[in-house]
Amino acid sequence: MKAQLLGLLGKLFPVQGHEWSKAVMLLSAAAFIGMGGSISRVAAEGLFLTRFGVEYYPNLLLITPFLVLFATTLYGAYSGRVSSNRMMAYSAMVPIPFIIVLRIFMEWEFSWVYFALYAFVLAYASVLATSWAVYLPGHYDVQEAKRLLPFINSGLLIGAVAGALIVAALVPTIGAANVILLWLGALLGIIVVVQTVGKLFTAMDADTRKTQAPSPRPAAKKTSVFDHLKEGVSYSRSSALFMTTAIATIATMMALQILDFEYSKIFARAYPDSAQLTSFLGIVDGLTTILALFIQWFIVPKCIRSMGVQGTNFIFPSLLTLSFTGILAAPILLTGVFSRFTRSSLQPSLRGTTRTLILNAVPRKTSALVRSFNTGIVLPVGQIAGALVLVLLKGLSIPILFPVLGLLISAFYLFYSYLQNKAYGDALLDLLKEDKVHLLDLGDDELKQLDAAAVAAISERLRPDQTSRTALFANLSDDDHPQERAAAQEEVSLAAIELLRTVGSKPAFDALREHLPYDSPRLTAATLEALAAIGSEGAVETLRPYVDDVEQVVRLAAIDGLRQLGDTGLAQRMAATLDDPDMQVRARALSVVLSQPQGTAAQRAAQLWERMLEADDKETRIAALSVFADAPETPLQSRLYRALDHEDPDISRAALAALNELASAGRIQALDSALLHKLEDPDVELREQALNALAAIGTDEALNHMLVLLDDEQPSVQEALANAIKPFGKRAIEPLMTCLQSPQRSFRAKESALLALGRLDGVQADQFLAFWESELRELYRDKLMLTHLQSETPQAADTFLQVALQDAYERRFSLLLQLLSVWSSPEVARLVASGLQDEDRSKRAQALEALESLSERRFTRLFLPVLEADGERDAWRDLAQRQWSLTYSGADGVLDDCCQSTDKWILIGAMLSEQARTAAANGNWQQRLYALEHDAEDLDVRDIAQQLLGLAAAEPGLALTDVLLFLKRVPLFSKMSLTQLRAIAGQLVERHFSRAETIFDEGDFSRDLYLIVSGHVDIVQQRGDTQQTLVTLNDGDYFGDMAIFEERPRSASAVAAGDSRLLMLSPEGFRQTITQEPAISFEIFRELSARLRRIDNLRPVTQD
């Protein structure tokens, strides 16, 4: 039942199954915040208006901005010292004693209490909003925040509605004064939820995210309020858009202050009793908040789509003007409710949305500064200005003074909205003219609303005159070649064409057609495709002449466009093009003619197509294969499968591309052996194409064959497999789980299976339980065996087995961490992975805390003990014995289990250890070696068995296991797994050098990397007439590493300082190793980067 409920909720909301616990708790915290804000605002406003009327309302509005500034400054002073979790709890605690004291004073009828309460409520709301805005994002990484925060923040509106309706229902019973005690209950709810979340979950705050201590930096100079003001004014004066936005903000706040005053007068007259007024305000706020939610979700997006940003920007000032007109004409309750609705609900939905979109017409850095300046400086200035007007003029006995003044300010605001729209258009044009189109944060719907002026500005980017070239080349250096400048111009023009295509209006169509044809065939083709996509009247007539163009890309674009537009005369024209010398054009003509099998030219086209499929010419055959996607069912389809096995990979790729299109169209259901054979092709691209074709077929049989690639070593294939499996949905879960739980499957296969499962919807944590416990059991087993061997008297023969057990432990540990990222946040998995290996105990404690924060404690309760094992605690040993009966009394038991292991390296290590411990005459051991030599599938295992049996002659040089142990000691390779090291070992060549023998000379172009197994090597550089030894390297060191990546002469000579044994890796061997094990390159580059940093840190700092 629980699983079905979570599945239903997962379809309705963007929350995954494992995220519901935390998301619901944070949603409830948001609901308590919204509820408390609604209760406190309604109650405080009702009590204030019934005690003071509106006489002191202007004074309240005047003092509130200063209280807000003081409160936010105080919050900022402490927020850097206290965690966001505690700061959120403290923010909720602050009003509690204040509420209790004020409620006691209310019993004594102190009038100032109601003024203080309302002022406190208005100021506190900004502090709590700031604290919530800091606290909430700390629980999610960036991608999770984009998906979950809107859902969680909807709790604010839900709580606001609930709070307002609760007030309306309870005020008649408990009275208005006692309503603030309900606010107390909401605050306690916030504290309880925040504390619970703090115990169960780990916030990903800035301190927790760090994996290493940052290098010390000089403290930044603090910016004063005056500096901020000066900077903001400077930016605002530099642009008409900035200036009009600032003036419009001041006018808005002044008008809203006056509007607050006017509708409050209406409410105070209508409801002189505090309980009645509070109940009325609760009902109004509850219902209008529901209406505002509907407007925000549906009406505002529709307005932006139909009217554009500039048109929508007129709506709020128009409604504000209408509110003052209503109050001026008929100051009744209905106009008061409409005015409050406009001020409280429509203002954030309409004005806030349009202001955000308008600032998209400026660079992000500048818009962020102006947004901050408007919020922190301009907005309070407008509030103070409006309050001052009320304070100074309220003594005048002119009934219509403030409605008329508000009407004038609203008209002024409306006028400046017009200027703001004009400035927005100009800024947009400037942005387009300056080739900063990529800075527009506009979606397709918003682009489609660009007016004719914006279209004209985009069109200017298509005019290659001197002015546009000058603007374009302003960002190019003098060293750029003419070809690069032309390419840059072409890229800008292509971006403009794509923008006009997205706009899709008649002016955009006309602008595109105006510039045809271009000197560049690529631009002409892109324009034809855009015209066909828009499809306005005259598109067919525009495209037809280009069917006969001399450029192939233009002809193809014209043919495809006319097909898209449904040109009835195209088939007849294509029948005359069947003999075109250009194979791609001929293939397009075949596609058009064959798509109408009743046509007169269809039979001739079929015969021509068959000859092209058998042609020896590569280009002809590739063109013929592209026809399959458009041709009807035909016996020639068998030729497509034959082409899959062609020796030329380009022909195979073309066949797979055609097969993919047929499968996507549902025209292929059965699997062919030629297609399945491509899953094993050495060419990575062919494997990926075969994978995509099977995914397009979409049957369960195709899925089972796709899972063969779970063992593929190429990261791109793993990524493609995970993406290809996703459309199978729940059908893929069972076979992937089977792979996870199979002891015969490799670590690579299980990692790929987890990667795929992480992208599937509907995967429940319970489904991983069996796999999790099975892998945990093996993790404990590896740890126990390794600890037991380390605690005994060390034997040289056990060295490789210990390395193998540690290697298996680390790989299994990595696999379990990957599983963590499937049901929890990837951020948590990364934190645990990095923190548990940190030498800093506090970092390890943070990692354990993050792991404990996961809601699925059925998993972590078994994982934590082995992570905490430090040699002094035996809790993990007790758990291993109690949970899985894992215990070892001696080395014999360890070796017996290791000899049965499916891990080849553990098996090889056990063979070496057992051989050293057991007499050669031991018949049982000899039989086991013979069995391994005969039956083992792995070649390395068979080779080791043959060597131990004496069946194979000992090869000169180091044994494989000795090479692997040596590589584990080299910093460049120490972090790699034994499987990765085996790939490297296969490319190493052993070299011996005598004392004073030169390995390579300075200036040589050799590019080999050398590893010192034993001996010493001097790195020598010529300094004038003498040679200077820069450094002497010892066993375990390496040199020549940069030459393997750079085609540059050696910067120094290498000379053997004594008899030395080296291992050499050639560039060809390195490339082959990377092809075989791509992840190796990451490990090597990481170590080389760390080495360069260490060298850089050793350099002396030059002082002026």
Instruction: Check which CATH number belongs to the domain holding 1084 and give it.
Output: 2.60.120.10
What pLDDT score was predicted for residue 476?
Answer: 44
What pLDDT score was predicted for residue 157?
Answer: 79
Give dist(CA 732, CA 700) in Å, integer.
Answer: 8
Whether residue 72 contacts residue 130, with contact meaning beta carbons closer than 8 Å, is answered with yes
Q: What band does 467 get if pLDDT is binned at 50, 70 and 90? A: very low
pTM above 0.75, yes or no: no
What pLDDT score was predicted for residue 208?
Answer: 39
Q: 289 and 378, same structural domain?
A: yes
Q: Does 107 map to a domain?
A: yes
365-374, 560-569, 1008-1017: range with lowest mean pLDDT? 365-374
Give the helix/strand (H/E) hosting 1017: strand 1017-1023
What pLDDT score was predicted for residue 412?
Answer: 94
Q: Does 572 map to a domain?
A: no
Q: 181 and 253, same structural domain?
A: no
The two tokens of residue 80 are 């850097």
- b/e sequence 839-867, b meaning 16+ C-beta within 10 Å: eeeebbebbbebbbbbbbeebbebbbbbb
Q: 1049 and 1082, same structural domain?
A: yes
The two tokens of residue 1071 are 């490339």
Q: What band does 347 get if pLDDT is binned at 50, 70 and 90? A: confident
Whether residue 406 contacts residue 302, with contact meaning beta carbons closer than 8 Å, is answered with no
Most confidently modeled range among 314-323, 1034-1043, 1084-1093 = 314-323
Sequence-distant contacts of 91-96: CB under 8 A, at least 24 apart: 91/127, 91/128, 91/131, 92/128, 92/187, 92/190, 92/191, 92/194, 93/187, 93/191, 94/124, 94/127, 95/40, 95/120, 95/124, 95/183, 95/184, 95/187, 96/184, 96/187, 96/188
Total H helices, total E strands in the chain? 53, 8
**DSSP one-letter string for 610-633:** HHHHT-S-HHHHHHHHTTTTTS-S
SS (H, E, C) 510-537: HHHHHCCCCCCHHHHHHHHHHHHHHCCC
Instruction: List the alpha helices (DSSP H) in 535-667.
Output: 539-543, 552-565, 570-575, 583-594, 602-613, 618-625, 637-644, 649-664
Tens-place pLDDT, residues 216-225: 444 444 445 5
Whether residue 696 contacts residue 660, with contact meaning beta carbons closer than 8 Å, is answered with yes
**DSSP one-letter string for 413-428:** HHHHHHHHHHHHHHHH
Q: Does 751 map to a domain?
A: no
Give the phi and the psi of residue 1046 in degrees, each rounded to 5: -120, 140
Q: Does 617 map to a domain?
A: no
Q: 248 and 201, same structural domain?
A: no
The whole-number average pLDDT for the span 8-17 is 56
Q: 180 and 49, same structural domain?
A: yes
Sequence-distant contacts of 223-232: CB under 8 A, at least 24 apart: 228/373, 228/376, 228/377, 229/377, 231/369, 231/373, 232/369, 232/370, 232/372, 232/373, 232/377, 232/378
Bridge-based pairing of strands 1017-1023 and 1026-1033 is antiparallel
Whether residue 354 contacts residue 361, with contact meaning beta carbons closer than 8 Å, is answered with no
Q: Does 131 map to a domain?
A: yes
Q: Is 1038 helix (H, G, I), strand (E, B) or coil?
A: strand
Whether residue 617 contacts residue 591, with contact meaning beta carbons closer than 8 Å, is answered with no
User: Count of alpha carbons within 13 Å of 595, Cβ hemisphere only?
Assistant: 17
Q: 267 and 398, same structural domain?
A: yes
- Domain boundary among the residues 838, 858, 889 is at 889
Q: What band does 857 get if pLDDT is binned at 50, 70 and 90? A: low
Q: Is the pLDDT of residue 206 over 60?
A: no
Q: Is the pLDDT of residue 1102 over 80?
A: no
Within 10 angstroms of residue 510's Cβ, the number of other Cβ atoms is 15
Q: 203 and 265, same structural domain?
A: no
Q: Is 1033 helix (H, G, I), strand (E, B) or coil?
A: strand
Whether residue 95 contacts residue 121, with contact meaning beta carbons closer than 8 Å, is answered with no
Whose tokens are 């292509």? That residue is 494
Q: Does 465 map to a domain?
A: no
Q: Is 480 helix (H, G, I), strand (E, B) or coil?
A: coil
Give dist(CA 1034, CA 1015) in Å, integer.
Answer: 6
Q: Is the pLDDT of residue 162 over 50?
A: yes
Q: 1083 and 1011, same structural domain?
A: yes
What pLDDT score was predicted for residue 1098?
Answer: 47
Q: Let me know if 726 is exposed, middle or buried by CB neighbors in 10 A (0-12, 13-18, 19+).
A: middle
Q: 251 and 195, same structural domain?
A: no
Give dist(CA 1089, CA 465) in Å, integer.
Answer: 47
Give dist(CA 215, CA 101) in Å, integer.
Answer: 48
Structural domain total, the chain: 4
Give dist(CA 651, CA 549) in Å, integer.
Answer: 28
Q: Let me know if 992 is exposed, middle or buried by CB neighbors in 10 A (0-12, 13-18, 19+).
A: middle
The better pLDDT of the pair 224, 999 is held by 999
Most confidently modeled range among 64-78, 283-297, 358-372, 533-547 = 533-547
* CATH number of the domain within which 377 lies: 1.20.1250.20
177-181, 556-560, 948-952: range with lowest mean pLDDT? 948-952
Give the phi and the psi of residue 992 in degrees, each rounded to 5: -120, 135
Bridge-based pairing of strands 1060-1065 and 1053-1056 is unpaired
24-38, 706-720, 865-879: range with lowest mean pLDDT? 865-879
Amino acid identity for residue 446 in this structure:
E
Alpha-carbon separation of residue 877 from 213, 410, 871, 900 (angstroms): 33, 76, 10, 22
Which residues sit opposite 1026 in a β-bridge?
1023
Percent of the chain at pLDDT > 70 equals 76
Whether residue 769 contacts residue 859, with contact meaning beta carbons closer than 8 Å, is answered with yes
Q: 147 and 120, same structural domain?
A: yes
What count of residues does the chain have?
Answer: 1104
Amino acid identity for residue 453 in this structure:
A
Query: Beta-strand (E) ranges in 677-776?
Result: none
What pLDDT score was predicted for residue 64?
Answer: 84
Q: Is 1010 helix (H, G, I), strand (E, B) or coil?
A: strand
What pLDDT score was predicted for residue 434?
Answer: 52
What pLDDT score was predicted for residue 977?
Answer: 87
The better pLDDT of the pair 399, 7 is held by 399
What pLDDT score was predicted for residue 364?
Answer: 52
Within 10 angstroms of residue 1092's Cβ, the number of other Cβ atoms is 11
The whole-number average pLDDT for the span 926-942 is 85
Mean pLDDT of the chain: 79
Q: Is 1011 helix (H, G, I), strand (E, B) or coil?
A: strand
Q: Does 560 map to a domain?
A: no
Within 10 angstroms of residue 35's Cβ, the number of other Cβ atoms is 29
Tens-place pLDDT, residues 514-529: 888 888 899 999 999 9
Q: 881 and 801, same structural domain?
A: yes
Q: Is the pLDDT of residue 118 over 50?
A: yes
Give the helix/strand (H/E) hosting 717: helix 715-725
Interhelix angle 84-93/57-79, nearest 10 degrees: 150
Most confidently modeled range among 8-12, 496-500, 865-869, 893-897 = 893-897
Sorted by sequence, the CB contacts under 8 Å of residue 1010 that are 6+ apart come out as: 991, 999, 1017, 1038, 1039, 1040, 1054, 1062, 1063, 1064, 1065
**Distance from the first to the final alpha carbon of the chain:** 73
Q: 302 and 171, same structural domain?
A: no
Q: Does 51 map to a domain?
A: yes
Give dist(CA 184, CA 39) in Å, integer.
Answer: 10
Domain that holds residue 1038: 976-1098
The two tokens of residue 339 are 């005015």
- Domain boundary among the residues 149, 180, 208 is at 208
- Domain boundary among the residues 846, 866, 889 is at 889
